Amino acid sequence: MIEGVKFYGSPLQPRQPKERPMAFGRRRGAELKEEWAKIPADVDVLLTHTPPATILDVSPYTGKPIGCEELLKALTKKAPAVHVFGHVHNGYGSLAKPKTLFINASTAVERRGAQGTINPPVSFWVQKKADRKGSSAGMLITAAAP
């Protein structure tokens, strides 16, 4: 919690094929569903390594989405104001949905930073709004996202 804004982060991602081992991999389906259930219901800013399925997650190799289906399901229930992730480098950018601003902040343009090409940093500003009585009521989001 920072100045009334609740953050939650996770390095988890769907397990990759054996020829591409990566840290923090979990099996798609029940194993990831159990992990994403740990996201607090009142989270304001969610930080994950992996994107949710179908959101800024198209593989440059297959042309298909490779994000996490279980994460997408969890987000429809939890609806953080902002979800920041990476992993799929060519998905760099942002997408505003009615309840959540999704930001793929992948640094490297090429796979694992090949050829030294990097994306510009992404910044966003988020603040709890107060109602007339002084209690928190919703989020005010200003994003300088790509």
Q: Residue ranges per domain, the chain?
A: 7-120
- Would you state the pLDDT for residue 85? 92
Furthest-apart CA pair in the chain: how many Å? 57
25's tokens: 């991999």
- Would you state the pLDDT for residue 27? 64
From 3.20.10.10, 3.40.50.720, 3.60.21.10, 3.40.50.10540, which CATH number describes the 7-120 domain?
3.60.21.10
- Would you state the pLDDT for residue 25? 62
- pLDDT of residue 128 exceeding 60, the answer is yes
- Would you state the pLDDT for residue 15? 60
Lowest mean pLDDT among 47-56, 91-100, 134-143: 134-143
Closest CA to 141 of 128, 131, 130: 128
Q: From CA 124, how far away is CA 75, in angstroms rounded? A: 19
